[in-house]
């Protein structure tokens, strides 16, 4: 049985200017079923006098006794019998409104819009997609590019989720941490640094001695490597900037340039295209990769499920509880 508890100022204003407590409808629904003030009070966990007061209010409002005493006990009046079906329908509908939404991925028919780079697609979406397909065969994912206004697009409902290594804004987004990533450098097999030991990070001097192809994130042109270099950044000679790491092998092959990428991407590219992969200088550091969403979808069970799927299938560090971005 649904129990609607409203403050006085939230009572329903009926036609004719009569204020009416919606809780009385719950009481009436049970009264019409039990035909007993005592049993109604017991089932609702309230006092008999409060049920009696509600019944008196209802009788006055509806102009009908509703329940009358007969030789066989309390019985419904004709008016009460007419009210009962509609009232029970209303109570059932209200129960549905107040219950938490039920979620079943097997019946989910939804197209999610996810903003990410191709690194996010390769590292997070690709390994998860087969699992999504099996659990939710009617669901689909549209990948859209990261843009500088992606948080505003979340708020506007244009995208559902962001997969990003950019630092989140704790005032605007929630986050689910996925993994910590290092950086590696990709060079041609005949590059002067190609023979550098793969178990030792490049020195800053070696790193800065090469022309660079920069991997930039979003249309903001954000370059994490430049930021990490700090005062040394002006010594880094960037000959090209790319928003897609998949284009790296075509730019690197046959050149003396170096490109710094997330290690997962760098190793995959080097392995597939016969390039050399070297650990980046320690100064470059690491970064955290996250799922980001905002208040609009924070209680959306489908978004929560999608985040769980991504976290479960992209890395061992990913099964951590989500939190407000910090």
Domain definitions of the chain by residue range: 8-98, 105-326
- Long-range CB contacts (< 8 A, 24+ apart) of 12-16? 14/61
For residue 278, the model assigns a pLDDT of 96
In the chain, which residues have pLDDT < 50? 1-11, 13, 15, 316-323, 325-326
Cα distance between the two ends of the chain: 41
Q: What is the pLDDT of residues 149-201, one digit of tens each?
A: 888 899 889 999 999 988 878 888 999 999 999 999 999 999 999 999 999 99
Residues 6+ apart with CB under 8 A from 246: 118, 269
Task: Say if residues 325 and 298 touch (Cβ distance below 8 Å).
Answer: no
For residue 141, the model assigns a pLDDT of 97
Domain 105-326 has CATH 3.40.190.290: yes
CATH domain 8-98 topology:
Arc Repressor Mutant, subunit A (1.10.10)
Distance (Å, whole) CA 35 – CA 295? 46
Distance (Å, whole) CA 91 – CA 27? 11
pTM reported for the whole predicted model: 0.70
């Amino acid at each position: 049985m649904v129990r609607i508890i409203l403050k006085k100022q939230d009572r329903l204003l009926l036609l004719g200017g009569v204020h009416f407590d919606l809780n009385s409808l719950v009481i009436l629904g049970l009264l019409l079923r039990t035909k007993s003030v005592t049993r109604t009070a017991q089932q609702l966990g309230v006092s008999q006098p409060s049920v009696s007061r509600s019944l008196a209010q209802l009788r006055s409002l509806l102009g009908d006794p509703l329940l009358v005493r007969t030789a066989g006990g309390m019985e419904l009046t004709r008016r009460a019998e007419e009210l009962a079906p509609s009232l029970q329908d209303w109570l059932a509908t209200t129960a549905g409104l107040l219950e938490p939404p039920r979620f079943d991925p097997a019946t989910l028919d939804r197209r999610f819009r996810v903003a990410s780079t191709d690194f996010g697609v390769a590292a997070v979406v690709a390994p998860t997609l087969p699992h999504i397909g099996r659990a939710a065969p009617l669901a689909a994912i549209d990948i859209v590019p990261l843009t500088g206004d992606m948080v505003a697009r979340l708020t506007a409902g244009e995208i559902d989720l962001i997969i990003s290594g950019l630092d989140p804004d704790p005032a605007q987004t929630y986050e689910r941490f996925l993994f910590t990533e290092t950086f590696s450098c990709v060079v041609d097999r005949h590059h002067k640094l190609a023979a550098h030991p793969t178990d030792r990070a490049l020195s800053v001097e070696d790193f800065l001695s090469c022309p660079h192809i920069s991997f930039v994130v979003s249309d903001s042109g954000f370059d994490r490597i430049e930021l990490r270099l700090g005062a040394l950044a002006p010594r880094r000679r960037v000959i090209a900037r790319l928003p897609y790491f998949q284009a790296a092998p075509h730019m690197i092959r046959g050149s003396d340039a170096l490109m710094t990428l997330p290690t997962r991407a760098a190793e995959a590219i080097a392995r597939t295209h016969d390039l050399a992969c070297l650990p980046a200088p320690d100064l470059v550091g690491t970064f955290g990769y996250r799922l980001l969403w905002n208040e609009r979808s924070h209680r959306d069970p489908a978004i929560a499920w999608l985040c769980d799927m991504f976290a479960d299938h992209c890395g061992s560090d990913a099964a951590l509880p989500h939190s407000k971005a910090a």
